[in-house]
Amino acid sequence: MGSFGMLARRAVLTETPVMVQIQELVRGLNDCVSLAQGVVYWQPPAQALEKVKEIIWEPSVSRYGADEGLPELREALKQKLGRENNLHKSSVMVTSGANQAFVNVVLALCDAGDSVVMFAPYYFNAYMSFQMTGVTDILVGSVDAKTLQPDADWLESTLKNTVPTPKLVTVVNPGNPSGTYIPESLLKSDICKEAGCWLIVDNTYEYFMYDDRKHVCVEANHVVNIFSFSKAYGMMGWRVGYIAYPSEVDGLAAQLLKVQDNIPICASIISQRLALYSMEVGPEWVADQVKNLVKNRDVLLEALSPLGEEAVKGGEGALYLWVKLPDKYADDVKVVHWLAKRHGVVLIPGSSCGCPGFVRISFGGLIEKDTITAAKRLRKGLEELLDSGMDS
């Protein structure tokens, strides 16, 4: 029967989560600072947390709620989508984070054996979601070497020449892990619509745009948008995300509800209430937190300067810098382990995002003082890497 004879092949063949590997690496080390996981250093708004304390004993908090989310939260989200995202014809489903939202969408739209399209560097959890649901024909497209924006010509050709047509195209905007953004003209192009495939846009980092750039959403009957409370409101552990899907597509809501009822039933009630209370504080609160990340970004850009300006991309949106290692260090996993063990700073290997020889750096998880500490260690490590390598 073989070693995995009693296990699902689709699970066995799914890549091991890179964050699990990084957590295992860090557990064995002392005095290590992390620039790895995509998190923010702040907690949810204090006013919202105080309100949650007041409702902890309410019986409704311990019961199941509506599968698609608390009515009052969904109504607030519909208002927000219209006001902030220019989405006026979308229905809303609240999920246990954006990752679960993505799995819901994949299960509702894709069959095992379907082909789908991503662009490298891609978000590793999205890739794994396809693998574990049997969607193994993953077509990975190229991006512009300078901007890291998806290659529209490649996409148009691929959708036109692949038979059957890929079921969906997925992007993160602004990008994880790239830290770049998709221009409005490309996002609003009709490439997917004309090919007859879905466009799934993960907008987790909608509030994380820098240097006067603006986030844009697109709405159409072939587009599904995903959002999250995790980063903007510091609610990583509370696990609340949501799907904004086209109301006019017959049957889509019913299929999403089937998936939802068999995974979480509903997102945690107390987490949904915290999300609602956080929305009452408003996006201005989020903007006040996000603006401070520019200092972290700039500190890390300076630390990366030994690699040369052309080696570093991103920092335009989300929480990330995307960094090319010197050509002779194609084994990015080895470099990440060496930096962690010798210099006490942890990064994400680019191979987990489909790009060996790169690393992802997050500038959101540490306060400025700790980011400076991490940056000093990173610069020292890179200088040693360039001067004498990893065998010194």
- Three-state secondary structure readout of the chain: CCCCCCCCHHHHCCCCCHHHHHHHHHHCCCCCEECCCCCCCCCCCHHHHHHHHHHCCCHHHHCCCCCCCCHHHHHHHHHHHHHHHCCCCEEEEEECCHHHHHHHHHHHHCCCCCEEEEECCCCHHHHHHHHHCCCCEEEEECECCCCCCECHHHHHHHHHHCCCCCCEEEEECCCCCCCCCCCHHHHCCCHHHHHCCEEEEECCCCCCECCCCCCCCCCCCCEEEEEECCCCCCCHHHCCEEEEEECCCCCHHHHHHHHHHHCCCCCCHHHHHHHHHHHHHCHHHHHHHHCCHHHHHHHHHHHCHHHCHHHEEECCECCEEEEECCCCCCCHHHHHHHHHHHHCEECEEHHHHCCCCEEEEECCCCCHHHHHHHHHHHHHHHHHHHHHCCCC
Q: Is the separation of the CB atoms in 150 and 174 below 8 Å?
A: no
Report the pLDDT value the prediction gives residue 317, as an integer from 0 to 100: 97
Cα separation, 378 vs 384, whole angstroms? 10
Residues 182-224: pLDDT tens digits?
A: 999 999 999 999 999 999 999 999 999 999 999 999 999 999 9
Query: Before 177, cis peptide (omega within 30)?
Result: yes
The amino acid occupying position 113 is: G
Cα separation, 102 vs 122, whole angstroms? 14
Which tokens belong to 375? 């940056």
Report the pLDDT value the prediction gives residue 392, as an integer from 0 to 100: 62
CA distances from 123 to 77, 92, 377 (A): 25, 23, 26
Report the pLDDT value the prediction gives residue 391, as an integer from 0 to 100: 82
Report the pLDDT value the prediction gives residue 294, as an integer from 0 to 100: 97
The amino acid occupying position 298 is: D
Report the pLDDT value the prediction gives residue 3, as an integer from 0 to 100: 58
| Bridge partner list, 225 | 201, 244
Phi and psi, residue 25, nearest 5° = -65, -45
Cα separation, 61 vs 28, whole angstroms? 38
Which tokens belong to 140? 């990975």
Q: Residue-wise pLDDT tens for the chain (392 aa)? A: 455 679 999 999 999 999 999 999 999 898 999 999 999 999 999 999 999 999 999 999 999 999 999 999 999 999 999 999 999 999 999 999 999 999 999 999 999 999 999 999 999 999 999 999 999 999 999 999 999 999 999 999 999 999 999 999 999 999 999 999 999 999 999 999 999 999 999 999 999 999 999 999 999 999 999 999 999 999 999 999 999 999 999 999 999 999 999 999 999 999 999 999 999 999 999 999 999 999 999 999 999 999 999 999 999 999 999 999 999 999 999 999 999 999 999 999 999 999 999 999 999 999 999 999 999 999 999 999 999 999 86
**pTM of the entire structure?**
0.96
Report the pLDDT value the prediction gives residue 68, as an integer from 0 to 100: 98
Which tokens belong to 323? 């960094």
The amino acid occupying position 129 is: S
Instruction: Tell me the percentage of the chain whose pLDDT exceeds 90.
Output: 97
Report the pLDDT value the prediction gives residue 1, as an integer from 0 to 100: 45
Cα separation, 167 vs 197, whole angstroms? 5
